Structure 1
Amino acid sequence: MKIFKTQKELQSFLQGLREAAKKIALVPTMGALHEGHLSLIREAQQIADATVCSIFVNPTQFNDPKDLERYPRPIQNDLQLLEAVACDVVFLPEVDEMYPGDDMPWHIDLGELDQIWEGAKRPGHFQGVTQIVYKLFQLVRPDVACFGQKDFQQVMVIQRLVDIKELPVRIHICPTVRNQDGLALSSRNLRLSDAGRIKALALYRSLAFIKNYKTAKTVDALKDGALQILAQEGDIEVEYLAICERRTLREVDLLLPHKQHVALLVAWVEGVRLIDNMLLD
Structure 2
Amino acid sequence: MEIYSTKSDLQAHLQTLREAGKQIALVPTMGALHEGHLSLIREAQTVADIVVCSIFVNPTQFNDPKDLEKYPRPIENDIALLQSEACDILFLPSVDEMYPTANEHWSIDLGELDTLWEGAQRPGHFQGVTQIVYKLFHLVQPHIACFGQKDFQQVMVIQRMIDLKKLPVTLNICPIVRSEKGLALSSRNSRLSEKGKEEALVLFNVLDETKNNFANTSIEQLQQEAIAKLNTQPEITLEYFAICETRTLQQATDKDNNKKYVALVVAWIEGVRLIDNMLLNM
Work out whether 1:173 is the aligned partner of 2:164: no
Matching residue of 1:37: 37
Matching residue of 1:202: 202
How far 1:143 sits from its partner (Å)? 0.5
CA–CA distance in structure 2, aligned partners of residues 25 and 166 of structure 1: 18
- SS at 1:215 equivalent: helix
What amino acid maps onto 1:250 in structure 2?
A: Q
Matching residue of 2:224: 224
**Correspondence 1:269-280 to 2 at 5 A:** 269-280=269-280
> Does the CA-based 8 Å contact 1:205-1:229 persist in structure 2?
no
Matching residue of 2:185: 185
CA–CA distance in structure 1, aligned partners of residues 29 and 272 of structure 2: 21
- SS at 1:213 equivalent: helix
Work out whether 1:79 is the aligned partner of 2:89: no
Q: What are the superposed Cα offsets for residues 2-43 of structure 1, whole Å, 9 maximum, x if unpaired?
A: 111111111111111111111100000111111111111111
Work out whether 1:99 is the aligned partner of 2:99: yes
Matching residue of 1:62: 62
Structure 2 unpaired stretches of 5+: none
What amino acid maps onto 1:120 in structure 2?
A: A
How far 1:63 sits from its partner (Å)? 1.6
Bigger mean CA deviation after superposition, 79-88 or 66-75: 66-75
CA, structure 1 residues 193+166, in 2 after alignment: closer, same or farther (shift >3 Å)? same
CA, structure 1 residues 109+239, in 2 after alignment: closer, same or farther (shift >3 Å)? same
CA, structure 1 residues 233+63, in 2 after alignment: closer, same or farther (shift >3 Å)? closer
What amino acid maps onto 2:190 in structure 1?
A: L
Q: What are the superposed Cα offsets for residues 174-226 of structure 1, whole Å, 9 maximum, x if unpaired?
A: 10100111110112222223222222111111111111111100001111222
Runs of 4+ more than 3 Å apart? 231-234
CA–CA distance in structure 2, aligned partners of residues 280 and 226 of structure 1: 14
Matching residue of 1:109: 109
RMSD: 1.4
Matching residue of 2:140: 140
* Percentage identity across paired residues of the two chains: 64
- SS at 2:151 equivalent: helix
How far 1:119 sits from its partner (Å)? 0.6
How far 1:232 sits from its partner (Å)? 4.8
**Correspondence 1:245-260 to 2 at 5 A:** 245-260=245-260
Q: Paired residues, what number?
A: 281
> Does the CA-based 8 Å contact 1:239-1:268 persist in structure 2?
yes
Matching residue of 1:263: 263
What amino acid maps onto 2:160 in structure 1?
A: R
Structure 1 unpaired stretches of 5+: none
> Does the CA-based 8 Å contact 1:36-1:177 persist in structure 2?
yes
- SS at 1:242 equivalent: strand
Bigger mean CA deviation after superposition, 101-110 or 162-171: 101-110
Matching residue of 1:48: 48
How far 1:231 sits from its partner (Å)? 4.0
